[in-house]
Amino acid sequence: MTGGAVPGPDGAPRCPWGLSTPDYLPYHDEEWGRPVHGDDALFERLCLEAFQSGLSWITILRRREGFRRAFAGFRIAAVAAFTEADRERLLADEGIIRNRAKVDATLANARVLAGWEPGELDDLIWSHAPDPAARPVPRTLADVPAVTPESTALAKALKQRGIRFVGPTTAYALMQACGLVDDHLADCVARTARPAPAPAAAPAP
């Protein structure tokens, strides 16, 4: 897909990928590109993006509730405490993607993150959000990058802190999904229907 926004079932224009299957529509309209904060919430997105590597996102989206059940709601402390029996349970769970390397990376990452301070993952990820004013608004899907300098830097920072299975492309998908960047197309209703950002407060005298 390389085109611009196309009319949805209600006539409003949307990014073409958001209309490629009915399962995508609510995700496109209500979640993708909206800011996500909180260590556990970001850990979930980090894990799901890693599981998506080499697959289509719809494959993950349709299993998201299965993933949440299998991984204790992606609560970092809970996943960090998983045992070898939990690992074997995960590798037999048909409700998720039973990829040994990805399961092992998820468990290892939870153990690393369990040692971080509260809010540290949130701060690290969001410190790589680019200045929105410095980014051109995409008019077609061809204008949307797969990798950026910021996503490359984020992947490097996570790797240096011991986080596995997150390369620059996965990091950029995370940035898109969690609202660090807004890659809804210029005419997409999910962009145009949002309220304008509040003006910055005037500096104190």
14 three-class SS:
strand
**Structure-block tokens of residue 9:** 């079932």
**Structure-block tokens of residue 71:** 């991984």
Q: What angle do the packed helices 39-52 and 168-177 form, to 10 degrees? A: 130
Say which of 17, 27, 31, 116 is annotated catalytic: 27
Q: Give the amino acid at 42.
A: L
Residue given tokens 């077609």 in the structure block: 140
> For residue 23, with 0-12 CB atoms within 10 Å meaning exposed, 13-18 middle and 19 or more buried, which class applies?
exposed
Assess whether 172 carries a catalytic annotation: no
**Distance between CA atoms of residues 105 and 46, nearest Å:** 11
Say which of 17, 31, 57, 116 is annotated catalytic: 57
Assess whether 27 carries a catalytic annotation: yes
Assess whether 32 carries a catalytic annotation: no
Say which of 49, 126, 150, 172 is annotated catalytic: 49
**What residues are labeled active site?**
27, 49, 57
